[in-house]
Structure 1
Amino acid sequence: METIQDLQQLRSIVGEPGELTINKIYDHLNEQASDFITRSPFLVLSTVNEDGMPTASPKGDIPGFVHQADERTLYMPERKGNRLVISYQNVLATKKVGLIFLLPQCSETLRVSGHAELVTDEELCTKLDARGPAILLLKVTVTEAYFHCGKAFIRSNLWKPEHWPDASRISFGREIGDQIGKGADFVEDLDAQVLERYKDSL
């Protein structure tokens, strides 16, 4: 196995992007991007810590849950979660984010990169109250935005129910119980608590 060492070696394998592909990249949110965001109920938030270690976190709510103030400014509401705030610790450290917006049954995705900060604004937090007022806001100043083609979704048949596996659920009771040496009763009880939180604490 050979490790690719530099850009020249990488380009020798994958080639150069075409001129038209390069020209799809904007430094702001154009009309199509804005419309996509107003309809999107889900995104993946990517951040990096001060040591350069990345992480990605799913974020979702009602369609259009991310508020667009102008062509370069987005506000994403934060809801109740696990309080690890790993992504937000990274924002405090490096102030850089990447977002991928998804739209159900659409093969294309919207990629947005920019500078980020955590803010509080009582009026805007109250406005973004789909499930009660937001507890804080992630403000993103857009530096790059473009649509990614749909090949990954087409190849994976992601939006085709006939290709989906049987429904399943992860046991957080097992994940945590295995780590701290707890048995079946603990697993069953914690899994039941998680299901209740899904119903009552979104």
Structure 2
Amino acid sequence: MMRNILTVSGVGIRMGERLLYSGVDLTLHQGETLALTGENGVGKTTLVRAIMGQLTPTYGQIIWPAGMPVISYVPQYRAEADAFGLRIRDFVALSFDHGLLPWLRQVERDRLAAVLRRTGLTKIGNRRIDTASGGERQRAYLAQALLRNPQLLILDEATANLDTHAKFQLMDLVQEEQKRSQLSVLMVSHDPEIVKQYADVTVHLAPDAKRMEADHV
């Protein structure tokens, strides 16, 4: 039996006078991929923020049956990728907490090399990230997220604006990580091809719905 890592029970979120939705129920198991779908503006990212503990739901509960896992987040875009012109390997390494040390320890260098290899970034690791293609950037964002050794990976429109090859390449890498470590994935997506191929469960958000039902694939 797969272990339940996340339960969202009867969640509703109000922003000012506007009730985005109510009665949201979903369950995510270890090693499973759950797709969160819905129209623009319905509040998918708002629900993700609540799951990450960045805001409190107006109604309902977000429950971590086995305790809060290590969560990593991959967005569609990171402004810092253009702001500093770092090499890809240095950008990925930002995920480490260096403390007062200005250099990586050997264990960190080894982990960085392994993650760059698994995400296909080794050969371009010395290239500046602001000159990388969209697909290369998203793999760098993914590598940065994986460096934390997460138990839950959140993909917030991570494949948006990628060409067909790049978006499937990214999701194949995510799937390989799931096989390695039973990683759980929550992805926000508008892409029906990606949802159909990679999601085990789909939850569709609609404005102020009484209840959101999960479709199991």
- TM-score, scaled to structure 1: 0.24
Higher RCO (C-alpha under 8 Å, 6+ residues apart): 2
Larger radius of gyration: 1
